[in-house]
Structure 1
Amino acid sequence: MTNVVRTTCPYCGVGCGVKAQSTENGFQISGDEQHTANFGRLCVKGAALGETLGLEGRLLHPEINGERVEWETALDETARRLQGIIDEFGPKAVAFYASGQLLTEDYYAGNKLMKGFIGAGNIDTNSRLCMSSAVVGYKRAFGADFVPCSYEDLEQTDLVVLVGSNAAWAHPVLYQRLVKAKQQRPNMKVVVIDPRRTATCDIADLHLALRPGTDAALFVGLLNVLPPPEPNAFDGQTAALEIAANWTLEKTADFCQLDSADVQTFWHWFAQANRAMTLYTMGINQSSSGSDKCNAIINVHLASGKIGRDGCGPFSLTGQPNAMGGREVGGLANQLACHMNFEPADIARLGRFWGSERIAETPGLMAVELFEAIGRGEVKAVWIMGTNPLVSLPDSSHVAQALANCPLVIVSDVVRETDTSRFATVKFPALAWGEKNGTVTNSERRISRQRAFLPAPGEARADWWIISQIAQRLGYGEAFNWQHSHEIFCEHAALSGYENNGTRAFDISGLATLDREQYDALEPVRWPVTSTINSTFKSWRANGKFQLLPVEPALPQANADHYYPLILNSGRIRDQWHTMTRTGNVPRLMQHISMPFLEIHPQDAKRYGVTQNSLVRVASRSGGVVAKVLISANQLPGNVFAPMHWNQQFARKGQINGLIKSVCDPHSGQPESKQTAVRIQRWQPAWQGEIFAREDIAFADDIQWWKQATSGVQHFLCAADSNAQVWIETLATGRGWQLQTACGNGEFYHVLAWQNGELQLAFYSANVWPEISAAAVVAAFEQAPPTATERHRLLAGKTAGTAVDTGATVCSCFGVGEKTIRAAIASGCKSVGQLGEKLRCGTNCGSCIPELKALLK
């Protein structure tokens, strides 16, 4: 019997295969060479999955109002309160908010309960925040949410256009596959369309740093210069071409604030390429006109015939591991299960299959409007599953107010303390990755198994089990009497083919008869999977024709003005995932970028008087954050960028979505998270510093802090206007600590706190960020009582013993720091390859290669 379990990564939508091998010291995580999504390659987050398997901070038992209760009590009380709300206010007074982190089986159970038996459409998902515009685009063009591309197409195309996608950081394994394809086929062209110069531009033959939010114009103008399709080849063709005719080269270049020659080059390359692909993600979708942007992209592929052939097509890259699976089961509020719609025939069909007369007849509330309805008191119970909307939704202060006033907030999660769970009436302990058993679907429609290799800890249970237990208590037991995820999957597969006969693109009915053993052994497979119906994209037609959508390019709704003169773009960084509940606690994933930052162009930095690594307050009409300044010419003047990951568990004031207004695309309901008007103000605190402690630290209310994941010690960056000495002495009072201090004319203040010869706390502050060796300080907490000389070196924050200061981490996969890399370059390494041979940096996920190239320069 093998001790290796093949499973699937729980991070982005690439859907990489992972192997978990049992060892004496736990589990060794590696890439699955047999999985066609990654062929053994993993990014740094995937490679660090083994470091997320601990139980510290886990929610392990049901709770009501913060008190541990038995499962029966939690389930009975929750069902009783849900039923009471439904009886008094109707089914639309309750809602579910799910997540692309759920398995398909979990999603299916939640959708079935809400739309099939409670009888309201109010189940939506955090995928609304990332992929719903792409869904609208595909459905309007093809009549179905059918992604017409595969990863293999990247290796066969002549032109790749990446628009609104920093794939090098957000989808690293897929990006490295593209890098390899370009190396093997040097004539392949790569165009990157993005206001920022990101790591993805490393392989770009052309970077179009356009005015933020103007992407649609590039594709509408491109449609204008392409040879027109045959008359009546597509529905909507005449109107789409009439609008495009107005978008000349000059008008497009002016609207996008680009050089006409660069726009013309892009158009020429696309028109001349025999095969072309456009890869797009949040930069397109997260817009008040995101659906139209998606259709502008799809239009040029349809009109040029660069679709339905190898190496061709508009390819939306999903952000989460199972955003696609959620779309399949009806996890979005404006769709029914298995890609069915709120139409009489589909409603009746679903009722027959589920044996229910309570099928929802109208769409439910989409994410942003759902929480607005909670705030108005119209929705009185919400069940939040596997997501953290207090961090990910826009205008988060209003979301917090809504949940604070909601009579019943149910949270199913793996982490006990999140920004969202502090508002929970009921907490259900869910299974985490490594414990869950089911399926996910990646960006290319490939269904893969997530298999369990760990036992369920404490009293944690599968999400589908929790949902089915509530359903049974609400009186729907017969329809939810599952004993295993295999039964749910087979029911889902059977529904996909029920009365289908090729009328719906999503069909996996060929998997409906899998027995338990076959389900357990299921290899990755792309849908459709049927026994009789040929429903590939090449053969798929809805209503006889595909459709060109008339698209009139529109600017973002956010406008800079005198009070808020900068446009903020938000996004991801390389080593963190979503709201950091998993990755934020892994020390090596916090080494590359350790705190929220604001990237700003040198001209704007000079204008506002901010310098590299200084602190800045960023404010919009909705909220404010504090961040560290990163000055970079990669940013356009007048624009700034900040990462969206930090939350109240990792920073006092770092929640970037609190700045963003709840402005949504009218078709998809997706928020415009990419453009927000802000102002900045330099903050020069009285001191800035780092603190290390054995135990939890009580911060004074006026201290800004940023948590640093560090093994064996509490570690924070912090800053304040108040007196640091008063705060530290207050911490030490009554604890019997002996303080050893050093200070210099008010310019710095260092403290070591000792008790029985053991280090309890180390604090270093100065007018600017103090230069210390964090590795030396952390090592001191683990070592035997130091000598007097070692104490003095430690008080200075200097390296002692075997601790080595390697500088800021560049390669997180192998922990290679900037100082180490610079030393290798000085000793003769002249290329990325030579650095890789000497230090291993750049040889795993490849995400650090652009930074290695910059250091080599």
Structure 2
Amino acid sequence: MRRTTASTCCYCGVGCGVLIEHDGERILNVAGDPNHPANFGKLCSKGATLHLTGDLDARALYPELRLGKGLVRARSDWDTALDHAANVFAKTIAEHGPDSVAFYISGQLLTEDYYAFNKLARALVGTNNIDSNSRLCMSSAVVGYKRSLGADAPPCSYEDIEQSDCLLIVGSNMAYAHPVLFRRLEEAKAKRPEMKVIVVDPRRTDTCDLADLHLAILPGTDVALFHGILHILLWEGWIDRDFIEAHTDGFDELKRMVRDYNPAMVADLCGIDIDELQTTARLIGTSTSFLSLWCMGINQSTAGSAKNSALINLHLATGQIGKPGAGPFSLTGQPNAMGGRETGSLSNLLPGHREAGNAAHRAEVADYWGVQALPEASGLSAIELFEAVRSGKVKALWIACTNPAQSMPDQQKIHEALAACPFVVVQEAFFTTETCHYADLLLPAASWGEKEGTVTNSERRVSHVRPAVAAPGEARADWSITCDFARRLEMLMRPGQASLFAFDTPSAIFEEYKLLTHGRDLDLSGLSHALIDRLGPQQWPFPAGSTQGTVRLYGDRVFPTENGRARFLAEQYQAPKERREARFPLTLNTGRLRDHWHGMSRTGTAARLFGHVEQALLSMNADDMRRRRLLDGQLVKLRSRRGELLLPVQKDDSLRHGQAFMPMHWGDRFLKGMGVNVLTLPDFDPVSKQPELKHAGIEVEKVELPWQFFAMVEGQVQKRFETLRPLFEGFAYASFSLTGRDRSALVIRAACNEAPDATQLAQIELLLGLDTGPVVAYEDPRRGVGKRVRIEEGRIIALCLSGETAARDWLKQLWHDGTADQALRRWLLAPLSTPPGGGVRAAKTLCNCMNVSQDAICAGIDRGLDLNGLKRELGCGTSCGSCVPEIKRLLVKQPAVA
């Protein structure tokens, strides 16, 4: 019998409500929850395909234990696995002290999971060495809010997007990273065309298509831009002097500093026109309500804290905070990064927005937990933590629900650290992540649709995450694994004492945790799982006795600082760590794609999510490509000071000269060579300790790899992936992806200087199912060219091209079409390499929701269809809407025939 369970999406920080359709054993479908105030039923392409992800063949199902380095992990049982982990941790702590162990956790955990980990690290182990991958995305925003406003509390709500008269979007391709919120902005702009939208981004992204003004600043110059805007606001008198005098401190110092940031200097430094700078200041200064939205382009910087504070300065100077449509509003990258911040899941924090370095805060939490004291020594942030692992200071590392062997910068050192660590525990739902390779103990965790707890989204809204089905195999909820381990460790470290982890449900954990927030800025004491079920998701603060959450903060102009006044921060512009120079003349930016998320442990199991962008590509400005004599699709070598990577290049008109872009999603699993973060640098902001993932110096050069390989195979895609991936280690270049919709295929692209050993090729063909059966084959040993295609019931099932791959797009299209005609058979048995009729361009799926290709849309435009006509006839743009900006660009390039 089909049932529906209301829960939330597990991707970005928008926190969309979802309705999971299931039969009690399997998840069958997903839809947006029309009653959830974060999305009102809307979903993006990723959220709408959640039911297609999480292939069981990619899931960790049982504990696996390796009893010595170099040995293969073997299946274990939970008691043996956790007893072993407790013994190793207890022994390590006894011999080397509590700071010889560390925990690295994730913004994808639920709040109850977070709390259990924090209590384990600080109350039981006695270390502050617990950090989260939120360090990589939101820690600079945390510092910005705390330094300027007194607390890590985004003051706005999503409804402010619709109510604002002027929006400044900085360092965020909102159309890709937070699509559902972007749809709200699009709708608001359509209803009120007078609303002004300014986008600040070095690239011209889909988000820019909505903008009245796009400031394509040079990477890393945001602080200078914000100071330059403030300079003009002061000059023109567009500031709120009454607000400044009554509710802020530090303005005079900032005023003196920004005098030097005159329009000519700032425009030159940022690489924009003076008119653009002055227009921006005028729109902000004369607006009745000014809202700023920002994401990783601000945070992932060695000056991330300064960028956040300089942006918030604009709101304080204009009094644009604490009222509808106004305020500084960070867009959170992960579904529960906010919950992690609330529970203290960064090394410098404690639960309830307390500071680990504050003695009074430590005493409050220790007293509540019933322990003598909490550790005083500073904990290690993410970059510092893995360096301590690499140097041998940290000897036992517990990693949960995150993939540092893909996501951390300077990947070579991260892999060295994980390889050298005496004991690595990985608590993970997907055994396929790069980090799992290093696990001495792999613990299978429950995933989306299988867990219960709470999450907090970007607007401080707490939702109840409900499970629809049981976790597969022996996988368990993260809080349950953590508490079970903690109880075993307690028996070794504090025998005979009452357990600190006597929790039997996630709601019991929440009930203990929420009282640590009582009286704090984020007061959750009036919330419970049951109350959220009754009233719906609620925004904090929600003190005991409340009947509804708090929509907007600081309406009373009182800030949670010692004197109740907000603070202006006066910090000079500092250039990024890596500047352009002769050896590395290009600046590499990294970012998100529309249909993938993070390291693709989940989205990488859904073939249709590869339809829009199928493989890792480097995007470059056309002039930079021309100077290097590069053509679209050619393989290039990217070099930085830390490593190198091979992948194809493509021309991108959205980039200025001297800039390059690569998506963040591909790691060593999908792209040989550790992915983009083998190039990025580990330098971090001195205050937030967030690394500069957005700005690395690189050079690009053409690579000649004459022997090429292309293969496709459908059926048991994840299993084939796992068996085939290791066979390509010896290739100079190898890339892996999926394709398909109703049926899925694994796609492999590879290249090297000369043909690999015949035995290796034979093994690859065996695993592709091309060794026996209905296989048509052609071999040309003299030219080193081979063609093999398996045809069953009139359609292609598997194929491979070796030596050269000119026909790959034609064959791929035949597979999608489900045909294997006589032209294919004639081509297979002929010495010709190119397909009949010449080259065929790979079909790009522009609308993933409705499976509409770019070719179909272009054909519709040729027939005279406008946007509404395309929506009616093809269905594109009628679901999540993420494809609409691209469709509009096609209509401009290729106007409909009247």
Report the TM range for the smaller structure's normalisation.
over 0.9
Q: In the alignment, is residue 409 of structure 1 matched against residue 424 of structure 2?
A: yes
Quote the residue 1:102 is aligned against. 109
Q: Kindly indicate whether the alpha-carbon contact (under 8 Å) linking 2:228 and 2:266 is maintained by their aligned counterparts in 1.
A: yes
Q: Structure 1 CA distance, aligned partners of 2:577 and 2:635?
A: 28
Q: Kindly indicate whether the alpha-carbon contact (under 8 Å) linking 1:612 and 1:629 is maintained by their aligned counterparts in 2.
A: yes
Q: Which runs of 5+ in 2 are unaligned?
A: 67-72, 715-719, 894-898
Distance 1:636 1:231, change over 3 A: same
Q: Structure 2 CA distance, aligned partners of 1:628 and 1:637?
A: 19
Match of 2:877 among 834, 842, 854: 842
Shift of 1:117: 2.2
Q: Structure 1 CA distance, aligned partners of 2:86 and 2:763?
A: 47
Corresponding residue SS for 1:692: strand
Residue type matched to 1:30 in 2? A
Q: Kindly indicate whether the alpha-carbon contact (under 8 Å) linking 2:223 and 2:307 is maintained by their aligned counterparts in 1.
A: yes
Match of 1:480 among 490, 493, 501: 501
Q: Structure 2 CA distance, aligned partners of 1:837 and 1:755?
A: 36
Shift of 1:245: 1.4
Quote the residue 2:814 is aligned against. 776
Shift of 1:817: 0.7
Corresponding residue SS for 2:454: strand
Q: Which of 93-102 and 223-232 deviates more? A: 223-232
Distance 1:346 1:692, change over 3 A: same
Q: In the alignment, is residue 523 of structure 1 matched against residue 570 of structure 2?
A: no
Shift of 1:251: 1.3
Quote the residue 1:267 is aligned against. 281
Q: Which of 739-748 and 383-392 deviates more? A: 739-748
Q: Structure 2 CA distance, aligned partners of 1:768 and 1:752?
A: 15
Distance 1:778 1:358, change over 3 A: farther
Distance 1:523 1:71, change over 3 A: same
Quote the residue 1:824 is aligned against. 860
Q: In the alignment, is residue 39 of structure 1 matched against residue 40 of structure 2?
A: yes
Quote the residue 1:764 is aligned against. 801
Quote the residue 2:728 is aligned against. 699
Quote the residue 1:627 is aligned against. 647
Quote the residue 1:852 is aligned against. 887
Residue type matched to 1:193 in 2? V
Residue type matched to 1:21 in 2? E
Q: Structure 2 CA distance, aligned partners of 1:684 and 1:767?
A: 15
Residues 54-203 of structure 1 aligned to structure 2 (within 5 Å): 54-65=55-66, 66-203=73-210
Quote the residue 1:210 is aligned against. 217
Q: Kindly indicate whether the alpha-carbon contact (under 8 Å) linking 2:796 and 2:815 is maintained by their aligned counterparts in 1.
A: no
Q: Kindly indicate whether the alpha-carbon contact (under 8 Å) linking 1:16 and 1:37 is maintained by their aligned counterparts in 2.
A: yes
Q: Structure 2 CA distance, aligned partners of 1:607 and 1:393?
A: 32
**What do you get for the CA RMSD once the two structures are aligned?**
2.7
Q: Structure 1 CA distance, aligned partners of 2:791 and 2:181?
A: 50
Aligned residue pairs total 841
Residues 344-383 of structure 1 aligned to structure 2 (within 5 Å): 344-383=359-398
Distance 1:489 1:522, change over 3 A: farther
Residue type matched to 2:849 in 1? C
Q: In the alignment, is residue 493 of structure 1 matched against residue 538 of structure 2?
A: no
Q: In the alignment, is residue 543 of structure 1 matched against residue 562 of structure 2?
A: yes
Provide, for residues 249-291 of structure 1, a one-character-per-residue CA deviation record: whole Å limited to 9, x for no partner.
1111111111101101001111000101110110000010000
Residues 211-250 of structure 1 aligned to structure 2 (within 5 Å): 211-226=218-233, 227=237, 229=241, 230-231=244-245, 233-250=247-264
Residues 283-432 of structure 1 aligned to structure 2 (within 5 Å): 283-341=297-355, 342-432=357-447
Shift of 1:86: 0.7
TM-score, normalization: structure 1?
0.93
Shift of 1:116: 2.1
Q: Kindly indicate whether the alpha-carbon contact (under 8 Å) linking 2:27 and 2:468 is maintained by their aligned counterparts in 1.
A: no
Q: Which of 225-234 and 214-223 deviates more? A: 225-234
Distance 1:322 1:799, change over 3 A: farther
Q: Structure 1 CA distance, aligned partners of 2:321 and 2:567?
A: 13
Residues 698-777 of structure 1 aligned to structure 2 (within 5 Å): 698-699=727-728, 701-710=730-739, 711-723=743-755, 726=758, 728-729=761-762, 731-732=764-765, 735=771, 740-741=777-778, 746=783, 749-752=786-789, 761-764=798-801, 766=804, 770-777=808-815
Distance 1:806 1:522, change over 3 A: farther
Q: Which of 19-28 and 6-15 deviates more? A: 19-28
Q: Structure 2 CA distance, aligned partners of 1:247 and 1:732?
A: 63
Provide, for residues 637-660 of structure 1, a one-character-per-residue CA deviation record: whole Å limited to 9, x for no partner.
011011111112212136101101
Q: Structure 2 CA distance, aligned partners of 1:150 and 1:721?
A: 56
Q: Kindly indicate whether the alpha-carbon contact (under 8 Å) linking 2:6 and 2:20 is maintained by their aligned counterparts in 1.
A: yes
Shift of 1:632: 1.8
Q: Structure 1 CA distance, aligned partners of 2:807 and 2:330?
A: 41
Q: Structure 1 CA distance, aligned partners of 2:785 and 2:654?
A: 34
Residue type matched to 2:501 in 1? F
Q: Structure 2 CA distance, aligned partners of 1:244 and 1:788?
A: 73
Shift of 1:723: 2.6
Q: Kindly indicate whether the alpha-carbon contact (under 8 Å) linking 1:595 and 1:627 is maintained by their aligned counterparts in 2.
A: no
Provide, for residues 339-376 of structure 1, a one-character-per-residue CA deviation record: whole Å limited to 9, x for no partner.
01131211111111111113122431000000001111
Q: Kindly indicate whether the alpha-carbon contact (under 8 Å) linking 1:14 and 1:173 is maintained by their aligned counterparts in 2.
A: yes
Q: In the alignment, is residue 251 of structure 1 matched against residue 251 of structure 2?
A: no
Provide, for residues 35-64 of structure 1, a one-character-per-residue CA deviation record: whole Å limited to 9, x for no partner.
111111100000000101431111011111
Shift of 1:627: 2.1
Residue type matched to 1:525 in 2? Q
Residue type matched to 1:772 in 2? W
Quote the residue 1:808 is aligned against. 844
Residue type matched to 1:509 in 2? S
Q: Kindly indicate whether the alpha-carbon contact (under 8 Å) linking 2:463 and 2:532 is maintained by their aligned counterparts in 1.
A: no
Q: Which of 414-423 and 327-336 deviates more? A: 414-423
Q: Structure 1 CA distance, aligned partners of 2:511 and 2:37?
A: 24
Shift of 1:771: 3.0
Shift of 1:720: 2.5
Q: Structure 1 CA distance, aligned partners of 2:597 and 2:256?
A: 43
Shift of 1:615: 1.6
Q: Kindly indicate whether the alpha-carbon contact (under 8 Å) linking 1:99 and 1:387 is maintained by their aligned counterparts in 2.
A: yes
User: What percent of counterpart residues are identical?
Assistant: 41
Q: Kindly indicate whether the alpha-carbon contact (under 8 Å) linking 2:635 and 2:704 is maintained by their aligned counterparts in 1.
A: yes
Q: Kindly indicate whether the alpha-carbon contact (under 8 Å) linking 1:117 and 1:358 is maintained by their aligned counterparts in 2.
A: no
Shift of 1:466: 0.9
Q: Which of 734-743 and 332-341 deviates more? A: 734-743
Distance 1:194 1:805, change over 3 A: closer
Corresponding residue SS for 2:503: coil
Q: Kindly indicate whether the alpha-carbon contact (under 8 Å) linking 1:688 and 1:768 is maintained by their aligned counterparts in 2.
A: no
Quote the residue 1:833 is aligned against. 868
Quote the residue 2:586 is aligned against. 566
Q: Kindly indicate whether the alpha-carbon contact (under 8 Å) linking 1:776 and 1:794 is maintained by their aligned counterparts in 2.
A: no
Q: Structure 2 CA distance, aligned partners of 1:525 and 1:731?
A: 54
Distance 1:518 1:752, change over 3 A: same
Q: Kindly indicate whether the alpha-carbon contact (under 8 Å) linking 1:687 and 1:767 is maintained by their aligned counterparts in 2.
A: no
Quote the residue 1:440 is aligned against. 455
Corresponding residue SS for 1:277: strand
Q: In the alignment, is residue 556 of structure 1 matched against residue 588 of structure 2?
A: no
Corresponding residue SS for 2:352: helix
Q: Structure 2 CA distance, aligned partners of 1:472 and 1:522?
A: 35
Shift of 1:775: 4.7
TM-score, normalization: structure 2?
0.89
Shift of 1:791: 3.8
Distance 1:519 1:794, change over 3 A: farther
Q: Structure 1 CA distance, aligned partners of 2:446 and 2:826?
A: 47
Q: Which of 627-636 and 436-445 deviates more? A: 627-636
Quote the residue 1:662 is aligned against. 682
Shift of 1:17: 0.6
Match of 2:521 among 496, 505, 518: 505
